[in-house]
Amino acid sequence: MKFQVTGQNKNTGARMVLEFESESKAAAERKAMAQGMSVHRVEDISDGHVGKAHEPNPRAGNVGRSGGRGMFLLIILIVIAVLAWLYRAQIMQRLGIHH
């Protein structure tokens, strides 16, 4: 497959557009990074048209994990709420509140 990779030169900051024959978008992105590019966009151009763009995650090592932090915080909040409800009698007693 053929990919067009858009980004900027890590050393000069100049805009770069490179085309690669590659087996996947990730492989094309790696090739561009090896050429000194900070990758912004990878597009499939195999059929002559620009296909769906792949926006790499700016945080290295977290590709594909967008939104994970929010979900984790929601789960923690739910666990805390359930524990507070289960132990509400002990909490009220410790606080000196009688109902």
* pLDDT tens digit sequence for 12-41: 989 999 998 999 999 999 999 999 999 999
Cβ-contact 28, 3 below 8 angstroms: yes
Q: Please state, rounded to an integer, the average pLDDT across all residues of the chain.
A: 83
Q: Is there a single domain that holds both residue 89 and residue 48?
A: no
Q: Using CA atoms, how far apart are residues 57 and 47, in angstroms rounded to an integer? A: 26
What is the reported pLDDT for 62? Answer: 47
- Nearby residues of 17 by Cβ (< 8 Å), 6 or more positions away: 4, 5, 6
Q: Is there a single domain that holds both residue 83 and residue 41?
A: no
Q: Is there a single domain that holds both residue 4 and residue 34?
A: yes
pTM of the entire predicted model: 0.49
| Number of domain units in the chain | 2
Look at 58 and 99; give whichever has higher pLDDT: 99
Q: Using CA atoms, how far apart are residues 46 and 87, in angstroms rounded to an integer? A: 60
Q: Is there a single domain that holds both residue 50 and residue 93?
A: no
Instruction: Measure Cα distances from 1 to 45, 47, 49, 58, 91 in Å.
Output: 8, 9, 12, 24, 62
pLDDT tens-place string over residues 57-75: 555 544 445 567 888 999 9
